[in-house]
Structures are given as structure tokens and as C-alpha cells.
Structure 1
């Protein structure tokens, strides 16, 4: 398969979906939101955007499976699986906060081969494919070269349900805040990851996170020279729903901090 050509087609599909979301943002009615769970909101924009993505991606690989946030399709593929978040940062979108993204990853036989994340408000299209590098608006990107935590800016996210592990997480955040240039909580895991990939953050970490939030971004980080791990230092970040993504240089320090509390 020509992954570069496929990636170009996916970028175009994601861009069309992003145009729809931008248009809806100008006239969005917050009264139309629904709740999937505690603090877990969804809107007609999420659902319609996902339907558009599924319809167009299905044409590229007709027998591929789909793992999607809004569950507009339920299909298992023999070899290929699309992992989709049509609007990562829904809470930001609903409240008019300008950080949210479309995230699409493709897995082949359990291995990531393509990732696209489109941060809509800055018009930044990040993408990567197997055998190539990582790119932002057609320019190749690399992770930061900062060598340690004391010279680093980090990103994280907060859980919005299942708060059992929150006490030790707060202790971890307290330690990290004192050892770095700072800690940011943007509200879009996909955006956090692509910012690691292009060197704006040295690292990002979060627990209780879903595969569709991070699948594309994690692959882009890896293709940009970064490293992605679970909290135990393994590679099961999608299955364990916990992730550490770094520029490689700060991995040891950050992983040691995480292990003190998890």
C-alpha cells in the first residue's frame, strides 16, 4: 500500500470535515448538547462530523473496521482499523474556547501506519505515515531537543469521571510543576500530542484517556522522533488508557516521577 498517497487523501477528507466544524462553530447552539455521562458532553456537530469522516474514509479501504468515539458505526476489519475522534476538545468547542481538533489514525494488523490531527483554530494540519516523517502543513517537524525537565514545558489532562486515582495524580502534578517551566492543560489530548511532535511541549502525560483521543497523535509523535509509553514504561498506552509522550530526552525523569505515584 502507498501510505503517502493514502495520507494525502485522508488529509483532504479531514480538511473537509474541519470546514464543517468551523462553520458550525459560528452558529452553535449550546442548548443542543447531550450528556453521555458525568461531564461527558456531545453535540450534533460531533456526530455529524463523525458520519462525514466514516462515509469518506470507508471509500478508501472498504473492508476496514472503525473504532469511533460517537459510535456511528460498529464494524471490525480483517486487517485495517480507523480510529477516529471527530472533535477532540468537545468541551472547549461548546464553551467557545479555541482549541479543538479532528483526529484520525489508521492501524494495520495492530500497528499504526497513519495519523492525521487537524487543529482547527490555528489551521494546522499535522500528519504522518509509515515510512515517512511527520509534517505540519507540508513542512517536516521534529520533537524538541531540550535535554531535561527543568528546561521543559509539559502538558497534561484531567479526568472528568472515575476520580479514584485523582489524589496521587495531584501529587504528581505538584512535583512536575516544581521541576519544569510549567504545566499546561489545553483540553484536547490530540493537540497536546501534536505540540509534543513539533517541539512546543517536551512531554505530555495523562491517564484515563481513550484510544480515539490519542491514537493519531501518538503515532505522529513517534514519527517526529519522540517516544510514547504507558505509565509502566511499556507500549500498551492504548489498552491501558494511560500515556506518556516525550521528546525522548526527558523520558527517564518523567517516568521516574510518574512511577512514584502510579
Structure 2
């Protein structure tokens, strides 16, 4: 395992311990709102602080981009940290959330770690080195048709305009697949695509810390990840389309058919 991945694993497990310590007393936590349906708890902050401490102990000169702490430092190597992806699930006692740590070098995804503290599943990937879950190689599913596929998604909850664009997509995919799951933690959704539990996944308006590790996991597991609307690099927009090769292509074609429906697409002036 690469030294950077070793440190990321150590940091993710330490954060996971903090999260689990508070999982059964969420009613006592201080929770604030960052926006509509977007919450942060003292656990998010404590978990991120522990991750940052671990990184700084081994790599004090590296830069960090944290969901809670923002950008810290400048360097060729950047750690992209989501200390608790799925905070709303956590606060409601739903055991579906994860710690996500992605690492870029000179702007390219290099390593990724996603840790599910409830199942103790540890996902790791390095560029060119494949993807693993609990140290065993994982691959995307072999499902070949949308009709037999199970697809993950996430609803854009931050504003009504994005919801208006999303609903036609949801209807179009729902018509063609065996089912859709909206589990509430994009990092785990992408890890599950890499593992073959989900055949595909799409979501709009995600942040770098939501997807950095997961994007690399899917690609290293033999899958495909692109920008949902084909406009740019997925890390720049946060509009994600992922899956095995056949399902990705089929989803892309299905969503492409919506281009004649303005409500389903972002406007030219919309950065998200």
C-alpha cells in the first residue's frame, strides 16, 4: 500500500472512531445549518480535525481541502477531505455514512480512501493500482442492460431550480431500470458502484470532497466516470455519471435524450 494511502487509512479510521462514539447520542449534539437541508454537527468538525492532525503529523507541507475547514495551504499534493459524508443520515440514526479522503498530485487524482465505520468496510485505490475493499480487489458489475440495473442517485436539495432539472432525469431513468436507490451518501454510492453493488450512479451539484475518492475508486475498479452533461471535468462541476462501461453508456444515452427538454439541463450561466 502506498505511504499516502497508509496515512489516509489511519486518518479515516481515527475519524470513524469519533463518529461511532457519538452515533447513539445524536440528540445531544450541537447541530448548525449551512443551508437548506445541509447540516453540520460538532462530530463533523471533530472528525475533520482528527484527519487534519493525522495528515499534518506525517505530511506537514501538504495542502488540505476540507468540507468544514476549507482550503489549508498550497502544495502539489492536496488532501480532499469529507469527514462525514451523509451527516443527515448520521443525525437520524441511519447507519449509512462514511469518511472520504481523496488525494490529488499536480491536479490529478492519485489516491482515495472511503471508510464505512458501521460495516468496517475500507475502500482504497491508487491511480494505476486498482481498487480494493478490505484489501481484496473489487470490480464494477457485469450488468449489461438498463432493464436489469440498479442505479444510485442523489436529489439536489439545495434549491428548487436544480430539483426542477432533476425530476425529468429521475423519471427517464426510473422507466428503464430495475430500480433506483437514493441512500444519501455519495461517497458510499460511488464505492458501491466500484464494488458492483450498484450498476451506475448519477447526481448533480456535488463538491470535490464528496466525490474525489469515489471517482478514483470507480475508475480503478474498471468503471467509467464522466461529467454528467459532457461539459467539463467532473471534479470541476460536481455533476457525476458513473457506472460500468455498458451501463454508463446506456445512462448517458438516456439522459442525452433529455437535451431537448431545457428543464433537465443546466443553463449556460449555472456553474453547478
Same fold (TM over 0.5): yes
In the superposition, the TM-score normalised over structure 1's length comes to 0.94
2:268 — aligned with what?
none
Q: What's the Cα RMSD here?
A: 1.5
1:126-155 deviation line (CA, Å, top 9, x unaligned): 011123110001111000111121111000
- The Cα of 1:31 is off from its aligned counterpart by 5.5
Alignment of 1:42-191 (within 5 A): 42-71=40-69, 74-191=71-188
1:248 — aligned with what?
245
The answer to which of 24-33 and 190-199 deviates more is 24-33
In the superposition, the TM-score normalised over structure 2's length comes to 0.91
Large movers: runs of 4+ above 3 Å: none
2:126 and 2:24 mapped to 1: Cα distance? Answer: 33
- The Cα of 1:168 is off from its aligned counterpart by 3.1
1:25 — aligned with what?
23
Ranges in structure 1 where 5+ consecutive residues have no aligned partner: none
> Do 1:30 and 1:94's aligned partners in 2 also have CA atoms closer than 8 Å?
no
1:157 and 1:179 mapped to 2: Cα distance? Answer: 18
The answer to which of 92-101 and 159-168 deviates more is 159-168
1:177 and 1:131 mapped to 2: Cα distance? Answer: 34
> Do 1:32 and 1:44's aligned partners in 2 also have CA atoms closer than 8 Å?
yes
The secondary structure found in structure 1 opposite 2:245 is: coil
The secondary structure found in structure 1 opposite 2:160 is: coil
2:173 and 2:18 mapped to 1: Cα distance? Answer: 38
2:209 and 2:59 mapped to 1: Cα distance? Answer: 19
Ranges in structure 2 where 5+ consecutive residues have no aligned partner: 259-263, 266-272
1:64 and 1:162 mapped to 2: Cα distance? Answer: 34
